[in-house]
Structure 1
């Protein structure tokens, strides 16, 4: 195997232009990147590339000013930030993640003082009154019990061990023929998928909320680096294996952010891709080059430096600096360019003000492949928080679209009856 990998690497290197080889050699030697950037810029490119693929602890960047008693219960005064001033239901994690509170509607907002007062719907753990800082999240609930659902704790066999997951049945008496597999985003956990479980259950789907490499629950990858979807999809395939072994006939993949990129890779590469009935993607990464260019611009990193950071991720010689066990093929994960190759029905939900993963490639994917892709734009939700700002609309859109996709394919009359006979909150085609 090592010989095969070496031959592939040598072949890839031989195809490169002398200028590109010189540039990468400059990185390895700490040189000048073909004379285009200096040593300081080389170091910046290395830093930029490593930041993209290295799991990091959550930063407590939300200031908590006070907790007070309101007319209807506790309220929290927060420093006004782009996240904390969006109305809806969110989470505030504090005390290094040991504390967790569900934060509700905005009571008042003072632009002059740069503070916002919000309702505290529930404190699941920790003492919010003692918190001074925390981080904001769209992962609203701590576990299935918080949404009134029973779950089985199951373990899925993956590379390096077992990955814990929650299995939530639509009908406790028997497995559903179609399962929803929830794939969370970069830096998140399986909590992220809890927002979609009730919709899946209304449609008669069993839900499997998985963990995958480097997320803090599943075994870490040997190199400790994200593959941006190029490696993580193997863990989703293992989850599909589990579903099929336990009664599923087909699956629907739900993916948030990088979980969307992982889901797309699974639909493209898995041996079970013919059993993936549909994809539901929330703020997905459709084009990593676009995302990396966006973040380079936001962080005022020169274009050339950002491009060389991308080059390091994709070439075998860059591994010595990035720590990757294998190069990441960003081109293979560019679904904007590969749009017509996507043959799995896909719903893409994306907020137009997402400043973390820009919505442009999502809209472009739908425009280039309208037969397979439906694009549903939201406003004012920022990144992966479309459900949080408008749960009724999110659930309605997903329920309606999935119901059509899951309806029997060979009998149009029966399909029409199925679509008309179920609504959000009522039993669906399987229930």
Structure 2
């Protein structure tokens, strides 16, 4: 009996030890996943995944067959292929199969599409300002980290009204070119900027994203550049993470607010906590992992495990919580079907400032692909909004003259 009791106690001890060990292993796995995810969030994107297969290419007939998810999206897109060594413009869907679609080829800019086997669709339809047949300049904006290249596209007639374009995470200046015609046609100059760690502007010491908490300084530098070139009324347009950067620039810089007359936000990153939870579900991660990522990025440990120079307080980047501090009109464009940034952040921001925010919701468009999906509506909204800003600016100017 004694032996049997000892055996029972020994077995129980072994089982308990095993449970503790397994629990420790599970906790370690969860922590490792959280660290991986946190590092991924702040690390600039290198080569992007080629997630589409390229089948039959009929250059003479102007058609290409694509395989993969979302190959049948309505609209026009850029198609990068063979590790970005080639680029083509893809148009309307001709036929749809099982996870495949045959689409029109609107043009091949460079590379051998007929030999390509892998590629990726992109919202960037244009490659440079030269495509619009209008004058432009390659200019340099002096940022706190050094000279950053930019494109300056003046309107047809001289003006003191400027739109500054701020691209998103993992993108470059070319992402924002879709907005140039709308600004040009409404008589606004455009400044298309780069910013730290985007592969064109100088890199920061840590070579990591600040999710708007550091990049805003480069937008401030762009505003100073515009003012030095004669800008008196400035609109800033931010795309995706560029939206977060733009919002932080307004909240943190008196210099940015000085000549600001409005903001345009396209598929913006407004609430990073919400975005990280949404992204976690896309990866099939438990909610506690996403919460751990949020806490990790804000903790001193983030410096060690992610390489960022300082922790990122995601709650301090929440523009909804500081919505009362904005005082210029805002055009907010977002899609119900974004698939990358949940629309809830945009809804909350619009609800917090209905007096300032014109909230326009698209359906069927993916992340920063609203123009691609419905270019007529997208362009009409931006042109109309810019036209109203010009009228408001003229009224304010006349009132100032009368007061003077």
TM-score normalised by structure 2 residue count:
0.89
Would the aligned equivalents of 2:232 and 2:259 in 1 still touch at CA under 8 Å? yes
1:368-379 equivalences under 5 Å are 368-379=352-363
SS of the equivalent of 1:252 reads strand
Q: Is 2:27 the counterpart of 1:43?
A: no
**Deviation of 1:102 (Å):** 0.8
Partner of 1:259: 242
**Deviation of 1:159 (Å):** 3.0
Alpha-carbon distance change, 335 to 147 in structure 1, aligned in 2, over 3 angstroms:
same
**Deviation of 1:149 (Å):** 2.4
Which stretch shifts more, 299-308 or 222-231? 299-308
Q: Which blocks of at least 5 consecutive residues in structure 2 are unaligned?
A: 1-20, 400-404
SS of the equivalent of 2:295 reads helix
**Deviation of 1:223 (Å):** 0.3
SS of the equivalent of 1:235 reads helix
Q: Is 2:77 the counterpart of 1:86?
A: no
Q: Which blocks of at least 5 consecutive residues in structure 1 are unaligned?
A: 1-31, 416-431
Which stretch shifts more, 90-99 or 229-238? 90-99
TM-score normalised by structure 1 residue count:
0.83
Cα distance per residue 1:88-125 (max 9 Å; x no partner): 110011122221111111111123xx320111111111
Cα distance per residue 1:30-56 (max 9 Å; x no partner): xx9x98961111111100100100012
The structure 1 residue matched to 2:58, chosen from 60, 65, 68, is 68
Which stretch shifts more, 148-157 or 400-409? 400-409
Partner of 2:284: 300
Would the aligned equivalents of 1:348 and 1:375 in 2 still touch at CA under 8 Å? yes
Larger Rg: 2
Would the aligned equivalents of 1:267 and 1:344 in 2 still touch at CA under 8 Å? no
Partner of 1:168: 153
**Deviation of 1:410 (Å):** 7.4
> What is the CA RMSD across the aligned residues, in angstroms?
2.0
SS of the equivalent of 2:124 reads coil
Partner of 2:189: 206
Alpha-carbon distance change, 316 to 127 in structure 1, aligned in 2, over 3 angstroms:
same
Partner of 1:336: 320
Number of corresponding residues:
375
**Deviation of 1:161 (Å):** 2.2
**Deviation of 1:314 (Å):** 1.1
Would the aligned equivalents of 1:124 and 1:142 in 2 still touch at CA under 8 Å? no
The structure 2 residue matched to 1:363, chosen from 347, 350, 360, is 347
Cα distance per residue 1:148-186 (max 9 Å; x no partner): 2222111111233211111111036x4x21111110000
Partner of 2:384: 400
Name the CA distance, whole Å, in 2 between partners of 1:297 and 1:115: 26
Would the aligned equivalents of 1:92 and 1:137 in 2 still touch at CA under 8 Å? yes
Partner of 2:49: 59
Would the aligned equivalents of 1:168 and 1:208 in 2 still touch at CA under 8 Å? yes
Partner of 2:329: 345
Is the helix fraction higher in 1 or 2? 2
**Deviation of 1:294 (Å):** 0.5
Would the aligned equivalents of 1:37 and 1:305 in 2 still touch at CA under 8 Å? no
Would the aligned equivalents of 2:302 and 2:310 in 1 still touch at CA under 8 Å? no
SS of the equivalent of 1:381 reads coil
Would the aligned equivalents of 1:65 and 1:132 in 2 still touch at CA under 8 Å? yes
Which stretch shifts more, 372-381 or 328-337? 328-337
1:30-429 equivalences under 5 Å are 38-57=27-46, 58-69=48-59, 73-82=61-70, 84-111=71-98, 114-171=99-156, 174=158, 176-272=159-255, 273-408=257-392, 411=395
**Deviation of 1:411 (Å):** 4.0
Partner of 1:20: none
Name the CA distance, whole Å, in 2 between partners of 1:375 and 1:95: 38
